[in-house]
Structure 1
Amino acid sequence: MATAMELRRRAKRRKLIIQGALIVLSVIVVLGAIQSARVNLAALGITSGFGFLERGTGWDYSFSLIPKSINDPYSKTLFIGFLNMMFVGFISIILSTIFGFLIGTARDASNIALKTAASVYVQIFRNIPLILQLIFLYSVLIHFPGPRQAMSIADAVFLSNRGVMIPGLNVPPSVALGLLIASLLLVAVLILLKTPLMRGLLYWLGGTVFGCIAAALIFAPAGESIFSIPALAGLRFRGGITVPIELAAMIVSIVLYGSAYIAEVVRGGLNQVPRGLTEAGQALGLTPRNIWSRIKLPMALRSIIPPLVNQWIFIMKATTIGVAIGFSDLFMLVSTSITQSGQTLELIAILMLAFLLVNFAIAQFGNWLNARMKLKAN
């Protein structure tokens, strides 16, 4: 008779054989589908492959973080779309998280007026479809007055149907993009070092401000100020940073929608903190702010992080709604590239791979962050 160990080995071997057979079968099915698609495309006179990425596009689009031209190859055009998607996604994630925590905390407050206002905000922006909010906001913004009648705030910020003009550093766009990436890397380093929340925010703010000023001192043109203030020159504004209407509408609508959901996640996490812990803090004479920052928030984060990461992934995927207003994110540029080149399968595969990689990275970061926040067993 076979021993128990031999039976376990046989069962393990049988499982490995079955899994190997399933993998081989899956590979055969995928290769067969690819070959069938190639045959069908060849019959229609459509070439397959990624050689088209080196061809020039011959068409233009609205927004880019780096210099662009209608003669750019498809590879650079798609890379620009990827940068635009990442830019909008991460800006929206950061702002949605900040506002979501503020609104969620307000919903958990004892002040009735503050709690009611936060609840109304959540109910309004959570229950209206995101694309409807985007189209409504875009329709409002494009009907603002022209540059000569632009709305002004302290003669430094201007809002017109051309966009939002704000003061900025007198540095090239590529340097500004590098500063944004460096700021995100600083956040990752502070998290890796387990820096306390409030201290980490101060370090991040100080480091970002220092980096911006240093970059402006180094890269600003000789004899010019390190700050650039927008000023009307003819029919347009010169200087400062111009945020196009499409970009402003995208970020504002996604932040309003995403922060409403994140606020509910935060409120649910704060409500799960045992009342006895807050009562113990009150007995020790802690202020409400200290109770929130030292007791409620650290305990709530352990239940907030998993659904919060899901919201981050949703916000990144929500950048695809920009196609409704002509914002040149990856989805819109892929759609236009399909129309112009006819390489449907390849371009859809590139789009799917890009979102898979970005959202997988966000999910892995969330898993790592969740593991770091778990209570350690003695």
Structure 2
Amino acid sequence: MAKTDPYAALRIKEFNIFLLVRFVLVFGWSMQFIVIEWQVYSITKDPLSLGIIGLMEIIPAFTMALFAGHIVDQKEKRNLLALCIAAFSLISFGLFLLTWDKVVGNWSTTTILYSIYALVFFGGFLRSFFGPTIFSLVALIVPKKIYPNAATWNSSTWQMAGVLGPAFGGFSIGWIGVHWSLCIIFGLVLLSFFILLNIKRKPILNPKIGEPVIQSLKEGVNFVFKTKAILGAMTLDMVAVLFGGAIALLPVFAQDILKVGSEGFGVLRAAPAVGAFLTMLVTAYIPISKNAGLKLLAAIFGFGVCIIVFGLSSIFWVSVMALFFSGMTDGVSMVIRQTILQIKTPDHMRGRVSSVNSMFVGSSNELGAFESGITAKFFGAVTAVVFGGTMTLLTVVATGLVSPSFRKLDLTADLEAHEKAD
């Protein structure tokens, strides 16, 4: 195999534009999420309300996922993403209005809270389209032989936005308040829309345009369950994310346990993304396709350990470091998973496979938030986080024992085949 070029994907102009779009969009999205988390918990002082935010997003995201994948495979990807961003801007503007005294000054707290939940619900509907569309668009911008490198930079950009968005959101709450923080988010979403227009429209590679919906959905699901590498990666990550949902309870830890205020909340929220970002920069130079299965198991095991340490800590900087290392292990997991999906998925099925992935992994973030909220409500935040980390460790051990083929998964041969094909 030829020597790895760590900047291969960055030599493609449209991929750089795509990364800029994703950075601005994720920055705004992640900033919005923690601003709303902070606002909702400030209103209710109930950890269950944080779980309800996750539930309001997962219901539409999960139920619409397969249908969204079918639509993505049938439509042109650039324009579909532009439509999603335009709709997302309406959500951001709505949240901005819901925190404006001139608009909701006479509204009851319950009405405002339910209105926020409604917009989060609409956001979950949109999210079912975002993932498959972005996943499919990347594959139309870069050649197959550099998918792993593109996955590294794509994930790194996502994580960098995840670092700066929450951190800036936490500080902006203290500096300018929730209302004007949401105004900034609305502007960022509009900016990402106009940057996206610099990417050309892409061809539709699906040979079955107009295929019946049920048949299309069945084909996508069957492909995932027959492809053991994809199924194993999705399942493992789903359970880890489901039970490792400490992030959802960060407002509780920041306000009631560590007592560090909105600025400390921003630091805690950004710490995992900092770790993940640094890890993924390293993977651009040191490919992790060899022994990918074993590395994925090790990474998620390390993630579970970090979550347990965070749950038990009552010292701010110990908590920050635990979250930082959880991000490092999660970064390895993310790159491996994205590489498996890109390499093993045919072009005409990317939307549907990505939708199944969002049902497994993406939706489990919100379901994990709900699970954490419920557990914290009845047993306390510390118990909820430690329980989640412990379940993650048990999942990794069980997967390693019952699936020796997954432990031996190696992507080197697949990459060599793509290099020869290109």
Interval of TM-score (by shorter of Structure 1 and Structure 2)? under 0.3
TM-score by length of 2: 0.24
TM-score by length of 1: 0.26
- Point out the structure with the larger helix share: 2
Higher RCO, Cα 8 Å, sep 6+: 2
- Point out the structure with the larger strand share: 1
